[in-house]
Amino acid sequence: MSFSSRVKEELSRQESPARHCRIAETAAIISLCGKVEIDEDDSYSIKISTENVAVARKYFTLLKKTFNISTEIMIRRNAYLKKNCTFQVSVPKDADARKVLLATKLLDEHGEIGENLSVVGNLVIQNPCCRRAFLRGAFLAAGSISDPEKFYHFEIACVTEAKARQIQNIIATFDMEARIVRRKKYFVVYIKEGSQIVNLLSVMEAPVALMELENIRILKEMRGSVNRQVNCETANINKTVSAAVKQIEDITYIRETEGLDKLPENLEEVARLRLERPEASLKELGEALNPPVGKSGVNHRLRKLSILAEELREKGTALDGEGAVQRNEEENYDKKNNHD
């Protein structure tokens, strides 16, 4: 069972004690996956279709406990996908359908089908507890949530933009920011922030799923923190090794050209110590000196050695250039005399 299915299974078993909250949840389910039909005799009937048995069970339970009415349940199996079933829950009687539609404010006193999508003026979602129930019903009817092990994504798909705006505004009343994107014929209300999805699960009253998501978030954050620390330490080690290699090259060049014994005593001491301990850090080198020296002091001496090595290289290059000119002149002179 997917994480989204587990969340819906948990929410389907969440029962609101207050009748007005059950009405709000019923309104959301009918609005997002239901259909109101009117026959030639002006008789109303309501049908909702879902592929999730938990949603069908929840809708059936809501109608039974809130309105004490009978429903018809039909199961249709896909001929091509044998495991895929569609559950249809119907309220066929006109009196029962009118009772439900009037209570959910989907039918006005004049018999007109409509819905007040205002968060402020809609009596069905006037109380915070009813807005919680409405979001729960909306998610059950048309929502999904990704596996948090992979990425964070919560969404509710709506047929109309007005409905998407209503759900976005309801979410905003709980200090969360949802976005809307057009996807084919649907307007999708979505949240990608892990912490906000946790808050939304709390709003919809899914504590088990909330704890599961929180545990995954903590583990992912710990892994991320460890990886960042390891990467930082690896970068520091690489930087230290590169600096040590350069220092050893400079000291070796000085030793081969001038000799370390011609250096000042403090530079000679740190140069010989660096050659003996190529893997040591600046702190370790400083502690090995007599008397001990701090990291900045060791770094200062090694920089002096580096500058000295560069000066010797430049001097050697200049001398090599002068020698090359002199050799060319001698070769030209010899060629001229031999020709004569």
pLDDT tens, residue by residue, 218-253: 888 888 888 888 888 888 778 878 888 888 998 998
Rounded to whole angstroms, the Cα distance separating 310 from 141 reads 74
Res 335 pLDDT > 80: no
pLDDT surpassing 90 at residue 24: yes
Task: State the pLDDT at residue 321.
Answer: 47
Lowest mean pLDDT among 19-33, 270-284, 307-321: 307-321
Cβ neighbors of 319 (< 8 A, separation 6 or more) are none
Which of 180, 159, 160, 173 has its CA nearest to residue 120?
Answer: 173
pTM (two decimals): 0.69
- CA 166, distance to chain mean position in Å, is 25
Contacts by residues 194-202 (CB-CB < 8 Å, ≥ 24 positions apart)? 194/148, 194/152, 197/145, 197/148, 197/152, 197/154, 199/174, 199/175, 200/135, 200/154, 200/171, 200/174, 200/176, 201/7
Of 179 and 15, more confident: 179
Contact between 49 and 78 under an 8 Å Cβ cutoff? The reply is no
Taking all residues of the chain, what is their mean pLDDT, rounded to a whole number? 87
323: confidence class by pLDDT, cuts 50, 70, 90: very low
Question: Could you identify the residue written with the tokens 């569609």?
Answer: 86
What per-residue confidence (pLDDT) applies to 116?
A: 83
Say how far apart CA 168 and CA 157 lie, in whole Å: 11
pLDDT at 32: 93
Q: Supply 122's token pair.
A: 């809609």
The dihedrals phi and psi of 115, each to the nearest 5 degrees, come to: -145, 130
Q: Are 119 and 170 in contact (CB under 8 A)?
A: yes
Under a CB-based contact definition with an 8 Å cutoff, are residues 30 and 104 in contact?
yes
Which segment of 80-84, 103-107, 165-169, 276-280 scores lowest on mean pLDDT? 80-84
Contact in structure between 136 and 11 (CB atoms under 8 Å): yes
Q: Of the ranges 53-67, 162-176, 179-193, 314-328, which one carries the lowest mean pLDDT score?
A: 314-328
pLDDT at 90 over 60: yes
Coil, helix or strand at residue 273: helix
Residue 40 backbone phi and psi in degrees, to 5: -65, -15
State the pLDDT confidence band at 131, using cuts at 50, 70 and 90: very high
Strand ranges for the chain from DSSP E: 34-38, 44-50, 72-77, 85-91, 143-145, 154-158, 179-183, 186-191
